[in-house]
Structure 1
Amino acid sequence: MKFSANLGFLWTDRPLPDAIRAAKAAGFDAVECHWPYEVPADTVKAALAETGLQMLGLNTRRGNVSAGDNGLAALPGREAEARAAIDEAIAYATVIGTPNVHVMAGFAIGEAAHQTFVANLQYACDMAASSGLTILIEPLNKYDAPGYFLLTTDQALRILEEVAAPNLKLMFDCYHVQLMEGDLTHRIKDLLPHIGHIQFASVPDRGPPDHGEINYDHVFGVIAGLGYDAPIGAEYRPTSETAHSLDWLKAQISG
């Protein structure tokens, strides 16, 4: 099994280039992030080249966070902002060699939001295609993100089918799916052809994967048995320094 360090949660006490170096030193096979835009892309590219790691994915900007935004792509009337965020993410990803861009839907509900999200995803897929990038959508759980437009894998699958773009995939976060739907391993098996990236954290506290209600040794074994060999993302919140939360990774490396 290969693992990617999500630097949106891990080593957040360090500048992004130093976090990339720390992930390499810890034994991760890749990295991913949330919103790297305050760091020049060439600086990140240099750190990736130095370590030999790939940045697997990044997110579109959330919008006006102080006003409560958590994504823009499903918000009617804000298409120009959403598409500017998509353009920015694709451009940044292209410079640093990142293959996946997660387009964040935002807080919205209803048919107008659905149609807006579909149209913006069609735009994103068209813009990403020339660079060979994949667009990802991710259902979030209603407890951490109440009011978020995209909540379940069934809803995501309907959107994938409607957009019908070969470079649109599902980001399957085991933490969110367990809280909303459960039945993780069957969901992964059924949705595997549509999955572009997998993430994980313990449930219910979103901590390291060595405790809680999910047996990740079993889940990782199922994923590997399905032939999925891309790095999967450690997107969890350490309770102290990141280095103190990596016993699970050491066990996977040695096991």
Structure 2
Amino acid sequence: MTAFSANLGFLWTELPLPDAIRAAKAAGFQAVECHWPYDTPPQEVAVALRETGLPMLGLNTVRGQPGENGLAALPQRQQEARDAIDQAIAYARAIGTPNVHVMAGFAEGADARATFVTNLRYASTQAAPHGITILIEPLNRYDAPGYFLQTSSQAAAILEDVARPNVKLMFDCYHLQIMEGDLTRHLTERLPIIGHIQIASVPDRSEPDCGEVNYPHIYAHLETLGYKTPLGAEYKPRTTTDAGLGWLSAC
């Protein structure tokens, strides 16, 4: 049976983060994840996680200044990028989170690539003693035009250059269906470098019960591949989170 993680960056956003964790437990999710939890003291999040028994699977590094979308691939911003990495790892340690998504930002070219690789190696070194995995995520060019990382093949090449076992791919089916399609084959081929998988409908990014991706097929395929980690439900509810949870009870 497929397990799911509620992405609290999009779900129950009207609630404080600790209460959103409790709501996810009540709804039947097996885990939670978030985007930027830094306005909430980690002690409060840790209490809610212990109370519910849910793991917090992942969180993101900060975006940077208004209008930015990450820092790690921005030349001349290395210290800010590393401060963001340190902040994310410290928060992850405080709440027992095993994954940190290092956001690349809006950039292009060889200098940006070299900067990203260098910062990922730094993140790997800082995270490894704590058993934390660093994730990188391709974002589609329509939702995030100009984002440095856009495809799984680009990510795979970067991971090969970084060459650290605790740096992996966040395979977001929504973004990669838009950019590449052929999800079944890509999941099979990329499985050794995948650290986390996320889902949402395509093209509207709502509940994963409509659109052009046959998610029951994806769930069955992942089961045959032996993938056990809860899938991240990172979608934008059509109305309210609670009103749209029929897909979860149907799984």
TM-score (ref. length: structure 1): 0.98
Give, as a single letter, the amino acid of the residue that structure 1 aligns with 2:51: E
- Cα distance between partner residues in 2 of 1:131 and 1:216: 34
Give the root-mean-square deviation of aligned CA atoms: 0.4
| Cα shift at 1:241 | 1.0
Q: Spell out the pairing of 1:97-136 with structure 2 (5 A cutoff).
A: 97-136=96-135
Q: How many residues align?
A: 250
Partner of 2:34: 33
Partner of 2:85: 86
Corresponding position: 1:176 with 2:178 = no
User: Over residues 111-143 of structure 1, what are the superposed CA-to-partner deviations in whole Å (9 max), with x where a residue is unaligned?
Assistant: 000000000000000000111100000000000
- Cα distance between partner residues in 2 of 1:172 and 1:84: 25
Q: Spell out the pairing of 1:1-255 with structure 2 (5 A cutoff).
A: 1-65=2-66, 68-252=67-251
- Cα distance between partner residues in 2 of 1:16 and 1:240: 19
| Deviating 4+ runs (over 6 angstroms) | none
Consecutive unaligned residues in structure 1, runs of 5 or more:
none
- Cα distance between partner residues in 2 of 1:7 and 1:105: 21
- Cα distance between partner residues in 1 of 2:136 and 2:154: 11
- Cα distance between partner residues in 1 of 2:115 and 2:234: 28
- Cα distance between partner residues in 2 of 1:224 and 1:25: 25
Q: Which piece of structure 1 moves more, 219-228 or 139-148?
A: 219-228
| Cα shift at 1:202 | 0.2
Consecutive unaligned residues in structure 2, runs of 5 or more:
none
Give, as a single letter, the amino acid of the residue that structure 1 aligns with 2:144: A
TM-score (ref. length: structure 2): 0.99
Give, as a single letter, the amino acid of the residue that structure 2 aligns with 1:179: I
- Cα distance between partner residues in 2 of 1:166 and 1:229: 19
User: Over residues 90-111 of structure 1, what are the superposed CA-to-partner deviations in whole Å (9 max), with x where a residue is unaligned?
Assistant: 0000010000000000000000
- Cα distance between partner residues in 1 of 2:165 and 2:197: 18
| Cα shift at 1:170 | 0.2
Q: Which piece of structure 1 moves more, 216-225 or 168-177?
A: 216-225
- Cα distance between partner residues in 1 of 2:132 and 2:49: 18
User: Over residues 169-200 of structure 1, what are the superposed CA-to-partner deviations in whole Å (9 max), with x where a residue is unaligned?
Assistant: 00000000000000001000000010000000
Partner of 1:151, secondary structure, is coil
- Cα distance between partner residues in 1 of 2:93 and 2:208: 31
Give, as a single letter, the amino acid of the residue that structure 2 aligns with 1:194: I
Give, as a single letter, the amino acid of the residue that structure 1 aligns with 2:105: G
User: Over residues 25-60 of structure 1, what are the superposed CA-to-partner deviations in whole Å (9 max), with x where a residue is unaligned?
Assistant: 000000000000000001100000000000000000
Q: Percent identity?
A: 67
| Cα shift at 1:240 | 1.1
